[in-house]
Structure 1
Amino acid sequence: MSEGWLTGKVVLITGGGTGIGRAVVERFVEEGARVGVLDRSDEAVAELRALPGGNVWATGGDVRSLDDHKRAVADTVERFGKLDVLVTVAGIFDYFVSLESLAEDRIDAAFSEMFDINVKGSLLAVKAALPELSKTQGNVVLTISNAGFLPGGGGPLYTGSKFAVRGLLSQLSFELAPNIRVNAVAPGGTVTQLRGLEAMDSGDIRLADMADLPELIRQTNPLQVASQPTDHAWAYVYLASKERTTSVTGCVIHSDGGLHSRGLVPLGGELTS
């Protein structure tokens, strides 16, 4: 039996309790990795800790807290001995709330929540993991989105936050070279449990609960696919595999159904050949 692409590697994944993050956790274990997770859901943490095999350990915490990131790093290293890879997946969505419809008395709170989780969360994760990643000359895989490159993938809050993560990718891949590689995956529309903003009363809403979501997603991309979280996991595996991507940093894998070949088609529009 051949070894997996990540055999012997230790990985920390933020937001690994559900959605794309959970799919990445499961795929990394299949590829031979031992995985630490930082997640805010007590239920998800308990579920991950109960997985058979002893290859996953979860730490409860909030990605807005540097101390929580440090605890997750410490827990992962204590349990598995080192840290080779950091993957940041934790994020929230604005459910396409436009600037015009964004209530003035909620802008400050909504902006802070969105950028604190989607942007600062990744920055703090890298900050906390740097000492251990430096020891292993490891690597980082961030999560952007098609909304970090094209309009229409969210409202201005979400789109702005994902463009900011794209900026982190550019700066950190430059700043941390040559010892630490930094790359990213930019998923397109996905049937996932991505939640909304508590500041906008959408914290309990999940993307997967939207009516006709798969069909709406198919209408926006040339391949007419409605991705599941597992459809993106391969990209994270590839970028995390140091042996296969030694010369790759500052790279983005666009796992989005081909949006860059045509751009986003307005919802309800028809794809033409």
Structure 2
Amino acid sequence: MSGTLARQHILVTGGGSGIARAAAERYHGEGARVTILERSASNANDVVSGSGGAIQSIVGDALDPEVLASAVELASDPGGALHHLTCGVGVFDFYAQVHELSPADLLEAAGESWRLNVLSALVAVNIAHPALVRGRGSVTLTVSESAFNAVGGGVLYGSAKWAVRGMVEHLAAELAPLRVNGVAPGGTSGTRFGGLSSLQQTSSADAVVGRDLRIARATLLGITAGPIDHAGAYRFLADPVDARAVTGMIIRSDAGRRM
């Protein structure tokens, strides 16, 4: 493989399923040396076996600094350089309504949403930063259409993704000349996107009745995207040649939902 991602060392957090998995597999297909950090051993094994063992994995909590440090070490080249970090950890809120929650439930659910959707990315950037500096690397955060419009979730999910949207610009300024960008997918089918355990939301977002049809009808393109439909945006932002002059930007792969 001779493309511009060939021999790039890339770490994808939450890379065992959904959009993050599609991004990891796209990087691998372009010749990158990819490592995923995934909390589900079965999901991690699926990705590794699907790549013929070429994609590496670490199973663990993406909020655990020791686990993240091990993942960065495994993902980096022999000189300790990491060329790209994609942050794909997230949790949905199944349209939870603040006025319907008890104060105790609200505090716990909001904390869980913030930790998984926001803090997980901040900790990953913090731990990976020295390796990214050595690799003159870049970061891609997973935002959401919910960071632009009051759709695609409730206020717990939406406010967390608004925070991630702000992180793109703030981290781009703080970490320059490292590039920091984001992808904001619209509603997506086939993600295994789980809900808040603090509210006993244990099923996947795909289980919401009529969700795919509702998403398609609300887009200009009339489609419900799958994870693979977002992978090209991630691939572009990870490319040290094609995206060399791109930082602080968010690609909105939402099929025209905002229109």
TM range (shorter): over 0.9
Bigger mean CA offset, 34-43 vs 218-227: 218-227
- 1:255 pairs with 2:253: yes
Alignment partner, residue 74 of structure 2 = 75
Amino acid at match of 1:56: I
Alignment partner, residue 269 of structure 1 = none
- 1:102 pairs with 2:101: yes
Q: For residues 122-155 of structure 1, what are the alpha-carbon distances to aligned partners after superposition, in whole Å with 9 as ceiling and x for unaligned?
A: 0001011101000011000000000011112211
- 1:229 pairs with 2:207: no
Distance (Å, rounded) in 2 between the aligned partners of 1:41 and 1:190: 21
Is the Cα contact below 8 Å between 1:34 and 1:80 reproduced in 2? no
Alignment partner, residue 214 of structure 1 = 212
Q: For residues 30-74 of structure 1, what are the alpha-carbon distances to aligned partners after superposition, in whole Å with 9 as ceiling and x for unaligned?
A: 111110111110112233333444421111111222222112111
**Structure 1 residues 117 and 80: CA distance shift in structure 2, 3 A:** farther
Bigger mean CA offset, 152-161 vs 228-237: 152-161
Post-superposition offset of 1:24: 1.0
TM-score (norm 2): 0.95
Alignment partner, residue 29 of structure 1 = 28
Alignment partner, residue 268 of structure 1 = none
Is the Cα contact below 8 Å between 1:181 and 1:248 reproduced in 2? yes
Alignment partner, residue 138 of structure 1 = 137
**Structure 1 residues 52 and 100: CA distance shift in structure 2, 3 A:** closer
Q: For residues 71-127 of structure 1, what are the alpha-carbon distances to aligned partners after superposition, in whole Å with 9 as ceiling and x for unaligned?
A: 211122278963100000110000111111223221111111100000000000101
Is the Cα contact below 8 Å between 1:145 and 1:186 reproduced in 2? yes
Correspondence 1:109-258 to 2 at 5 A:
109-178=108-177, 180-191=178-189, 192-202=191-201, 204-258=202-256
* Structure 2 residues without counterparts, runs of 5 or longer: none
Correspondence 1:28-47 to 2 at 5 A:
28-47=27-46
Amino acid at match of 2:128: A
Distance (Å, rounded) in 2 between the aligned partners of 1:134 and 1:98: 42
Secondary structure in 2 matching 1:193:
coil
Is the Cα contact below 8 Å between 2:172 and 2:179 reproduced in 1? yes
Distance (Å, rounded) in 1 between the aligned partners of 2:77 and 2:41: 21
Is the Cα contact below 8 Å between 2:73 and 2:80 reproduced in 1? no
Is the Cα contact below 8 Å between 1:5 and 1:237 reproduced in 2? no
Distance (Å, rounded) in 2 between the aligned partners of 1:6 and 1:78: 14
TM-score (norm 1): 0.90
Post-superposition offset of 1:4: 3.1
**Percent of counterpart pairs with the same letter?**
36
**Structure 1 residues 79 and 42: CA distance shift in structure 2, 3 A:** farther
Bigger mean CA offset, 104-113 vs 235-244: 104-113
Is the Cα contact below 8 Å between 1:109 and 1:199 reproduced in 2? yes
Is the Cα contact below 8 Å between 2:35 and 2:55 reproduced in 1? yes
Distance (Å, rounded) in 2 between the aligned partners of 1:129 and 1:244: 23
Corresponding residue pairs, total? 258
Bigger mean CA offset, 32-41 vs 94-103: 94-103
Distance (Å, rounded) in 2 between the aligned partners of 1:235 and 1:228: 13
Amino acid at match of 1:115: W
**Structure 1 residues 52 and 253: CA distance shift in structure 2, 3 A:** closer
* Structure 1 residues without counterparts, runs of 5 or longer: 263-273
Bigger mean CA offset, 89-98 vs 47-56: 47-56
